[in-house]
A and B are shown apart, each in its own frame.
Chain A
């Protein structure tokens, strides 16, 4: 009687490759049509709303005086505090970037599962 390895090898060899013969085309013909949403529509809306919001904030806050005040106040901060502030901002932004990258990319999700 043949052993397991030989049997498995024979089974693999015996499995015929099935030619496509239009199978893929038939599947693709049944897929729902691609959503033709303009690619930059979302970006344009976000940009437009940002500009509108900024403009409103500018005029409501006395033509942006708060920005000048903010810069003046920042310049009064000690150097180490400024460093901590910007370093903290960088960490928060970096953390969000990593989280979104992991959530959106299967390859990165795979890397994240590695146990070192």
Chain B
């Protein structure tokens, strides 16, 4: 019978069991890297660097995981914080502001004819809506869990999911017509 995340975490905490932590990494690497790829606009190398940082931080701070949320939710929160820190550093270095970052992926200024699949449509959403969609619709987190991961009010998550969904539907409908 496969062990649960909580059992692997307990083994790491009690025996500093690296094999158990490797299992945790193996089990969650795909979703964490997928989330970060979406956040970084499909920059695979950057997403993988941030994912590595995520798991290293998770290892160092494993004692702070209290089991109140799912382990995956806790990991997503660390991943999102890594991304936010990276984005902040990038803004400080290059001088990009929040609005500019959001406009980079604004569907209105990108030719939709070039984009044919759902993942592309998703990548066109502003980063806050894309993150909410990836967490709630793709990874099955509740709105409440996503609010905790993103550290924003529950209402904001619901709004972002709603707007993101509507934009996705409109984009997909427009392509289907075109």
From residue A68, how far is it (CB to closest CB) to chain B in Å? 42
Q: Does A17 contact B (CB under 8 A)?
A: yes
Q: Does A35 contact B (CB under 8 A)?
A: yes
* Chain A residues touching B, range: 20 to 34
Q: In B1-16, which residues have CB < 8 Å from any A CB?
A: 4, 6-7, 9-10, 14, 16
CA separation between A67 and B148, bound complex, in Å?
58
Q: Does B110 contact A (CB under 8 A)?
A: no
B33→A23 contact, CB < 8 A: yes
Q: Does A2 contact B (CB under 8 A)?
A: yes
One digit per residue, 1 when the CB lies within 8 angstroms of any chain B CB and 0 when it does not, for chain A 47-79 equals 000000000000000000000000000000000
Q: In A6-36, which residues have CB < 8 Å from any B CB?
A: 7-8, 10-12, 14-20, 23-24, 26-28, 30-32, 34-35
Which segment of B85-93, B99-107, B114-122 sits at the interface? Answer: B114-122
CA separation between A10 and B14, bound complex, in Å?
41
Closest to B19 in A: A28
Closest to A2 in B: B169
Q: Does B154 contact A (CB under 8 A)?
A: no
Interface size on B, residues (CB 8 A): 42
Q: Contact partner of A7 among B30, B65, B117, B168, CB < 8 A?
A: B168
Q: Contact partner of B9 among A28, A34, A106, CB < 8 A?
A: A106
A34→B52 contact, CB < 8 A: no
From residue B73, how far is it (CB to closest CB) to chain A in Å? 14
A20→B29 contact, CB < 8 A: yes
Q: In B162-178, which residues have CB < 8 Å from any A CB?
A: 165, 168-170, 172-173
Q: Does B82 contact A (CB under 8 A)?
A: no
Q: Does B51 contact A (CB under 8 A)?
A: yes
The 7 closest A-B pairs by CB, nearest first: A106-B67, A18-B30, A14-B118, A8-B137, A106-B6, A24-B25, A27-B55
A residues sitting closer than 8 Å to B (CB atoms) are: 1-2, 4, 7-8, 10-12, 14-20, 23-24, 26-28, 30-32, 34-35, 104-107, 109-110, 113
B residues sitting closer than 8 Å to A (CB atoms) are: 4, 6-7, 9-10, 14, 16, 18, 21-22, 25-26, 29-30, 33-34, 37, 48, 51-52, 55-56, 59-60, 65-68, 117-119, 122, 133, 137-138, 140, 165, 168-170, 172-173
